Every structure is written in structure tokens, then in C-alpha cells.
């Protein structure tokens, strides 16, 4: 591609609203431009990187036995009404009406569409297993789009779906897809971890997220410092066991704690460590009120609450609901004297608190000398807290550390969650109708592009790995006005392309400094500069990643480039 005919609008200054490196650099280097909040155009260089990532994905999907198709982004509401998700998703699902006033959704994902497609065509077990995938634009109306392509409202996803007659077949394909994902992210040069994740509203059991380690990642990964255990913090189980100390039981006393609300305030006011305080949070779980207790120095893990109660919606009760039900503010909540209709569940650590402190369900009062087994009843003790750094790793090996990650992939064992609600049945070998067993597998393609940019950059700009770079070589003629320089550069442009190199040729009538600065910003792996020694047939090669340069005679150029680019 000749830059004089291309469209690569580079910027000198850092755009104000771009907070993270990848967002700043993709804008400055002319890879993307924002159209609306969370909605982007991929300019020529950005589009080429997308295509490189997609090519890697297609190779690995092929290897895993998946077949590519393309489904519509415009999805009729009827399908989402059949699966029930038309009603369970809120404003995040973008909905619209056609000219006949019929309801549609813009595809946020394609379980409904693919299940409807397969159920109409597949009737016999002989046609299974089947793995279908697409690479397509998805729409999700995020409340707070941010970080450029990392959290957009329109983005490119590879989504695959598999259909099986048995759990073993699903397990086999799940493992193949898991391997394919590891290959994709390794080939993209990403430092990633596969972590145990929560299947959330997707139903089904097993699920793994592929996380790229990054300080700007929105997810927290709990990993062991002595094994390969890694889990999304929402999922990591706590295996600590707690024993009540043999402290003699003190009497339960209601004490006046004026204006003391938070655990910090109460703990310092009563001069009691946080470990002896009981933190009580009132949740509305599918419409029912549940008081969740954790130790004062721990945090409630809502995903664990949701999974324990097999709930769909778990949200904190509003201050009004709290006041109406418990006759006090959230800062005075406690497990003693709880209204009948409120269920109390507690994390295991609460049971071992000796002579603790809790809210008295009365403004400005707390209890001291609180002992769980004597002073209040708990319907169920369970692992309800977030794991913390320093906790033992759930696999029993080593200690938990935290890292932040960008979720670039997510694989699920769906089971029959969709085939049952949408009647995707097949005739088994005994002539009986059975629901198909399904898996689904997503890669955020545009998010992967941003994750690569986030991992590969330096103070001069982007530094693309060869496998996904928009071009291999940045060919620069320093001064096109000088004939032998321009002539040699033109010849090399043709010659290198004939030899299979992808060349971006900066043939613009710009000052050399501008060309070199743009070249460092765009970040192609190798730069070939045709300058004052053109008359001797000497050009300069520069490796973007290391900055090392080398003068080479054009007769040695091809083999030198092959060496650098392999
Ligand atoms: C929606 C909206 C947002 C969503 C979903 C549906 C996430 C939704 C989960 C998945 C599961 C898998 C196939 C590829 C891999 C991931 N956010 N999910 O289902 F309507 Cl608005 O997308 N889908």
C-alpha cells in the first residue's frame, strides 16, 4: 500500500478522552476513529489487523472441526421470547421495530438464532456432533462504554456453537476449543491465562474465561503462586476452615453507638477489631429479602449468593426497602431480631466469631458479646465471601495472588438450556426424541486487537507482533525528490511485494522527521529506509521492537528481512 493513496490520519497529540495506552495509540496511529460512544470505525490499518486476527481464528476453528457460517445481526423478537431472554435482558439488548412495527433485536449473541436454525435442519443423531461459528458484529448497549475497543457497544465477535448427543461428546469438543483458544492467543503474542469462570445467566456448568493479564483489565483473577490454578475472583472458592476461639461467652449487651454506621466506624468506636464485627447486607433475591452475613474484614461475593440460592436476579435492597422492612438504616443492620420473612444466610467465618459485634436493627445501637450459636439463627452457612490475597489456593497448593485481566475469550458448556426451551430435539439411536446438548465459545476479536495494542507498545508508539501487524515492512524514501532514492524505493516496493512481503510504502512528500515519527507510531515490525546511500545500493533496516539498525546492500536485503520476520 502506498501511503500517498491511503488513509492513515496520524495525530501528534494524545486525545483527551482516551485514558489507556491502547486507546490513545490506536487513535493517534490512525487505526480507529470513534463515531459515537462505544462505536468505532476501523480505518485501513485497523481493518488489516482485524483480518490478521480473524485469519488466525479461522485456522484454529478449522483445526477444531468448526464450520463457518454467517447469521443475521437483525434477530426477530419471537426467538428471544421463546428462550425467555426477551424479558430477562434489560436496556443492554438493543431493540428496534421494522416498518411493519414488528419487534427485533440487534444481535448481542446468537444462541437463539443458531438453535432455531439447527432445530429446523437436524433431526437425527447421525448428524451430530456439529460445530458452527461466525465472525460478526455484535451489539450491546453498555451503560458505560470505555477504554476504546475494550468495552464498546458495537464490536466484532467470533461466536461458535456446538451440538451433541452426549456429555462426553461435548466435553471432547470443549477441550478442543479450549486448545484452539490457547493457540489463537499464543499466536497473537498475548500473555493470557485460562481461568475458571461463572456461567452466569448462561446456565450450564463448566466455563472458562481467557484473560489477558493487564493492569487496565476490568476483571480480577485469583491465581495460585504455586500451581496453575486460576479463577475469576467471582468463582474462586474459599477453603479456609474456622474454629471459634475458646473465649468464655460474654453476655449479649445492646450498646449506644451514636452515628456509628460503617464497620470501620463501629470497630474503632467500640475498640473491637473488624474480624470480630459482623457485616450484614440486605439483598433482594428474585424478589425475596435475604440478609447476608460476612465477617467485618470480608466482602460479600454476590455471584456465590446467586449460585447458592440458584437465583436469577440478586441486587442490594434499596435504602427505602431496608428502612421499611428492618425499621433502620443499612448501617444498623444485624441478624438479631430479624423479621420472619427475611432469610438469613452467613459465610462460614461468621460462625467462629467469639463475642462479636453486630447492628441492633435499631438506629444508633449495636450489640456486643455476640455469639452466632447462642444469639441468632442462620438458615444456612456457606462460602459467600470473595477470596482474598493470602488465602490458600483452592487446589491446596500455594497461596492466592491477584492480577487484573482483560476477558478476550469465554467458553461454556451450555447443556440443554436452549435446546429445551426452544425444542431443538434429535432422534437418538433408540428412536427416542432427545434435546441436543450444546456448548458455546466466544472470542472478542476487536477486544483482542486492543489487548495486543495494550501489551505491545513503547514510548514511541505501537509495536505489532509480526503475526498480526497490518504490514511486515515500512518502506520509507527519505527524499522522493532525489531521483536515485525514489527510483530505488519504487523498485524495492515492487520487488519486496513480489517476494511475498506486505509493504507499506511511505512515498509522501513529507519531511523525514514526520515519516520516521509516523513509522514509530504505526509500529510495523521492520522499517527499510532508502536514503543518501541509495546510490551505493545501501539501505538501512530498523527493527521496531529493539530499535537496532543495520545498513544492508539491496542484494542482501531479502534474506536479512526473512531472518528478522521469521
Ligand atoms: C444479551 C446481552 C448481553 C449479553 C448476552 C445477551 C453476555 C449474553 C453471554 C454470552 C454467552 C456466549 C456465545 C459466544 C460466547 C459467549 N452478554 N452474554 O448472552 F442479550 Cl444484551 O454471550 N454467547
ω before 129 within 30° of 0 (cis)? yes
161 Cα nearest atom in ligand 1: 13
Distance from the Cα of residue 177 to its chain's centroid: 17
C-alpha 75 to ligand 1 mean position (Å): 14
What is the distance between the terminal CA atoms of the chain, rounded to a whole angstrom? 22
Which ligand 1 atom sits nearest the alpha carbon of residue 90?
21
Q: Tens digit of pLDDT for each residue in 383-437?
A: 999 999 999 999 999 999 999 999 999 999 999 999 999 999 999 999 999 999 9
**Which atom number of ligand 1 is nearest to the Cα of residue 89?**
20
Output the residue whose Cα is nearest ligand 1's atom 19: 109
255, β-bridge pairs: 366
Residue nearest to atom 15 of ligand 1 (CA): 442
CA 321, CA 285: separation in Å to the nearest integer? 13
Residue 108 Cα, ligand 1 centroid: separation in angstroms? 6
Beta bridge partners of 565: none
Residue 463 has pLDDT above 80, yes or no: yes
CB 311 within 8 A of CB 345: no
The tally of CA atoms less than 13 A away on the side-chain side of residue 232 is 23
Residue with CA closest to ligand 1 atom 23: 109
Note the pLDDT tens digit of each residue in 277-313.
999 999 999 999 999 999 999 999 999 999 999 998 8
Average pLDDT, rounded, for the chain = 96
Cβ of 159 closer than 6 Å to ligand 1, yes or no, is: yes
Tell me, using a 6 A CB cutoff, whether residue 30 lines ligand 1. Answer: no
Question: CB neighbours of 382 closer than 8 A, spacing ≥ 6?
Answer: 304, 308, 345, 346, 347, 348
Distance (Å) from CA 379 to ligand 1 centroid: 34
pLDDT value at 205 more than 90: no
Mutate to test the pocket of ligand 1, among 92, 108, 413, 442 (most ligand atoms within 8 A of CB): 108
pLDDT digits (tens, 9 = 90+) for 257-267: 999 999 999 99
pLDDT attached to residue 302: 95
| Ligand 1 pocket member 89 (CB < 6 A) | yes
Q: Supply 183's cell numbers.
A: 493457540
Is residue 201 scored above 80 in pLDDT?
no
Ligand 1 atom closest to the Cα of residue 85 is 20
Question: Is the beta carbon of 440 within 6 A of some atom in ligand 1?
Answer: yes
Q: What is the pLDDT of residues 55-103, one digit of tens each?
A: 999 999 999 999 999 999 999 999 999 999 999 899 999 999 999 999 9
Q: Whose CA is nearest to atom 11 of ligand 1?
A: 202
For residue 449, how far is its CA from the centre of ligand 1 (angstroms)? 20
Residue closest by Cα to atom 18 of ligand 1: 109
- Angle value at C-alpha 205, between 413 and 407, nearest 5 degrees: 70
492 sits in which H/E element:
helix 483-498
How many other CB atoms are found less than 10 A from the CB of residue 490? 17
Q: Is the CB of 202 under 6 A from ligand 1?
A: yes
Our CA angle for 325, 328, 332, nearest 5°, is: 120
Nearest to 362 by CA among 251, 262, 255: 255
Asked whether the beta carbons of 52 and 468 are under 8 A apart, the reply is yes
C-alpha cell at 351: 460462625
Alpha helix (H) ranges present in 270-318? 302-308
> Which residue CA neighbors atom 21 of ligand 1 most closely?
93
Best CA proximity match to 10, nearest among 507, 516, 449, 455? 516
- pLDDT at position 206: 79
The answer to whether residues 462 and 29 touch, using CB atoms and an 8 Å cutoff, is yes
Dihedral sign for Cα atoms in the order 389, 394, 398, 401 = negative
pLDDT of the residue at 203: 55
pLDDT of residue 338: 96
Task: Tell me if residue 352 falls in helix, strand or coil.
Answer: coil
pTM above 0.85, yes or no: yes
CA of 70 to the centre of ligand 1 (A): 17
Nearest CA to ligand 1 atom 22: 109
Please report the pLDDT score of residue 313 as a whole number.
87
Instruction: Specify the ligand 1 atom closest to the Cα of 200.
Output: 9
225 lines ligand 1 (CB under 6 A): no
Cell of 194: 485460562
Residue 212 has pLDDT above 80, yes or no: yes
Does the Cβ of 410 fall within 6 Å of ligand 1? yes
Query: Could you tell me the pLDDT band of residue 328, with boundaries at 50, 70 and 90?
Result: very high
- 504: Cβ contacts below 8 Å, ≥ 6 apart: 1, 3, 6, 470, 471, 473, 474, 475, 522, 524
pLDDT at 232: 92
Q: Are 325 and 342 in contact (CB under 8 A)?
A: yes
Is the Cβ atom of 439 under 6 angstroms away from ligand 1?
no
pLDDT score of 361: 97
- pLDDT for 193 equals 93
Return the half-sphere exposure (C-beta side, CA atoms, 13 A cut-off) of residue 247: 15
Alpha carbon of 414 to ligand 1 centroid (Å):
12
How far is 400 from 405, CA to CA, in rounded Å? Answer: 15
Residue nearest atom 9 of ligand 1, based on CA coordinates: 202
CB 473 within 8 A of CB 493: no
What domains are there in the chain, each with its CATH number? Answer: 3-7+19-237+401-453 (3.30.930.10), 253-382 (3.90.960.10), 471-565 (3.40.50.800)
Say if ligand 1 is within 6 A of residue 93 CB: yes
The pLDDT-based confidence of 181 (bands split at 50, 70, 90) is: very high
How far is 60 from 54, CA to CA, in rounded Å?
10
Residue 312, pLDDT score: 83
pLDDT tens digits, 504-556: 999 999 999 999 999 999 999 999 999 999 999 999 999 999 999 999 999 99
Amino acid at each position: 500500500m502506498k501511503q500517498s493513496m491511503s488513509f492513515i490520519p496520524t495525530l501528534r497529540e494524545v486525545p483527551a478522552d482516551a485514558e489507556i495506552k491502547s486507546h490513545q495509540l490506536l487513535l493517534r496511529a490512525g487505526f480507529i476513529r470513534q463515531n459515537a460512544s462505544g462505536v468505532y470505525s476501523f480505518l485501513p490499518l485497523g481493518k488489516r489487523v482485524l483480518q490478521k486476527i480473524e485469519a488466525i481464528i479461522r485456522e484454529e476453528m478449522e483445526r477444531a472441526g468448526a464450520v463457518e457460517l454467517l447469521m443475521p445481526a437483525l434477530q426477530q423478537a419471537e426467538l428471544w421470547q421463546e428462550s425467555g431472554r426477551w424479558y430477562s435482558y434489560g436496556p443492554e439488548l438493543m431493540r428496534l421495530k421494522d416498518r411493519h412495527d414488528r419487534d427485533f433485536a440487534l444481535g448481542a449473541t446468537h444462541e437463539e438464532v443458531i438453535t432455531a436454525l439447527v432445530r429446523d435442519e437436524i433431526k437425527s443423531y447421525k448428524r451430530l456432533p456439529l460445530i458452527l461459528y461466525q465472525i460478526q458484529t455484535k451489539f450491546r448497549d453498555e451503560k458505560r462504554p470505555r477504554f476504546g475497543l475494550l468495552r464498546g457497544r458495537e464490536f466484532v465477535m467470533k461466536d461458535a456453537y456446538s451440538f451433541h448427543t452426549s456429555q462426553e461428546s461435548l466435553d471432547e469438543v470443549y477441550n478442543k476449543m479450549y486448545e484452539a483458544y490457547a493457540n489463537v492467543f499464543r499466536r497473537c503474542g498475548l500473555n493470557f491465562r485460562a481461568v475458571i469462570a461463572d456461567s452466569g445467566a448462561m446456565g450450564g456448568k463448566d466455563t472458562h474465561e481467557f484473560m489477558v493479564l493487564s493492569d487496565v483489565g476490568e476483571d480480577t483473577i485469583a491465581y495460585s503462586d504455586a500451581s496453575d490454578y486460576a479463577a475469576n475472583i467471582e468463582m474462586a472458592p474459599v477453603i479456609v476452615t474456622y474454629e471459634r476461639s475458646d473465649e468464655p461467652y460474654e453476655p449479649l449487651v445492646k450498646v449506644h453507638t451514636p452515628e456509628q454506621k460503617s464497620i470501620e466506624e463501629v470497630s474503632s468506636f467500640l475498640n473491637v477489631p473488624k474480624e470480630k464485627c459482623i457485616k450484614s447486607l440486605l439483598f433482594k433475591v428474585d424478589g425475596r429479602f435475604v440478609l447476608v452475613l460476612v465477617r467485618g474484614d470480608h466482602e460479600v461475593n454476590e455471584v456465590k449468593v446467586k449460585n447458592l440460592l440458584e437465583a436469577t436476579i440478586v441486587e442490594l435492597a434499596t435504602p427505602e426497602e431496608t428502612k421499611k422492612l428492618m425499621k433502620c438504616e443499612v448501617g444498623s443492620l444485624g441478624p438479631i431480631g430479624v423479621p420472619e420473612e427475611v432469610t438469613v444466610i452467613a459465610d462460614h467465618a461468621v460462625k467462629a466469631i467469639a463475642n462479636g459485634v453486630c447492628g441492633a436493627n435499631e438506629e444508633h445501637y449495636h450489640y456486643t458479646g455476640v455469639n452466632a450459636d447462642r444469639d441468632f439463627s442462620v438458615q444456612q452457612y456457606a462460602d459467600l465471601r470473595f477470596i482474598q490475597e493470602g488465602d490458600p489456593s483452592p487446589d491446596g497448593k500455594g497461596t492466592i495472588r491477584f492480577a487484573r485481566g482483560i476477558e478476550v475469550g469465554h467458553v461454556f458448556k451450555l447443556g440443554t438450556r436452549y435446546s429445551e426451551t426452544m425444542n431443538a430435539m434429535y432422534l437418538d439411536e433408540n428412536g427416542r426424541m432427545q434435546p441436543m446438548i450444546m456448548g458455546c465459545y466466544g472470542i472478542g476479536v476487536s477486544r483482542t486487537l486492543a489487548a495486543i495494542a495494550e501489551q505491545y507498545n513503547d514510548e514511541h508508539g505501537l509495536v505489532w507482533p509480526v503475526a498480526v501487524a497490518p504490514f511486515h515492512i515500512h518502506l520509507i524514501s527519505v527524499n522522493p525528490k532525489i531521483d536515485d532514492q525514489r527510483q530505488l524505493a519504487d523498485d524495492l516496493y515492487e520487488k519486496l511485494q513480489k517476494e511475498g512481503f506486505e509493504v507499506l510504502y511511505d512515498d509522501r512528500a513529507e519531511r523525514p522527521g514526520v515519516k520516521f515519527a509516523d513509522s514509530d507510531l504505526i509500529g510495523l515490525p521492520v522499517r527499510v529506509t532508502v536514503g543518501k546511500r541509495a546510490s551505493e545500493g545501501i539501505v538501512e533496516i530498523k527493527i521496531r521492537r529493539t530499535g537496532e539498525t543495520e545498513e544492508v546492500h539491496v542484494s542482501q536485503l531479502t534474506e536479512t528481512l526473512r531472518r528478522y520476520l521469521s
